[in-house]
Amino acid sequence: MTSKSRGCDGYLFDCGVNFEPVLVSACLLGIPCRWHGRKPKKREKLIERLKKRYVLVPICPEQLGGMPTPRTGERLEGSGAEVLDGKLRIIVPETGQDVTRFHVNGAKYTLEIAKIVGARRAYLKGGSPSCDREGVTGEILKRRGIKVIRVP
Ligand code: SF4
């Protein structure tokens, strides 16, 4: 099947529309990747607005880092910057398990995706130890000059 015969729907690079790619937290798109595994509320208005200007690239750093869904729902007791600089660990309160490496790996893989697609901005879900402007992924993207917009 050629790119002409299949049209534009769902294809990022074959439709001749030169929209800028942006990363978007997958849960904002309604994908059930949150720690509890339940379907999140899709942010319809935000998504409709972004789709007019950008190609949306869904990312879930915690899944990219190797964490399952459902998974533990730990909090960041500091900043993503401290985690990346090796000054803070992310620990599951109930079990004491150190899950830092999953968050750091997810941030690194997300950064790789941003580089591959050429994203210069990211819309990340607030209140997450990975996403969020101050989360581990938010921080690694900011350090590489990618604009991070926190979605509350
Ligand atoms: Fe959503 Fe980000 Fe948490 Fe994944 S890591 S569920 S994309 S907030």
Digit-coded pLDDT (tens) for 17-32: 668 999 999 999 999 9
Regions in the chain scoring below 70 on pLDDT: 1-18
Cα separations in angstroms, 112 against 32, 52, 61, 139, 141: 23, 25, 11, 14, 10
Closest CA to 69 of 35, 38, 115, 24: 35
Q: How far is the CA of 28 from the centre of ligand 1 (A)?
A: 8
According to the model, what pLDDT value does residue 9 have? Answer: 53
Ligand 1 and 26: CB distance under 6 A: yes
The residue extents of the domains of the chain are: 12-151
Whether the CB of 71 sits within 6 Å of ligand 1: no
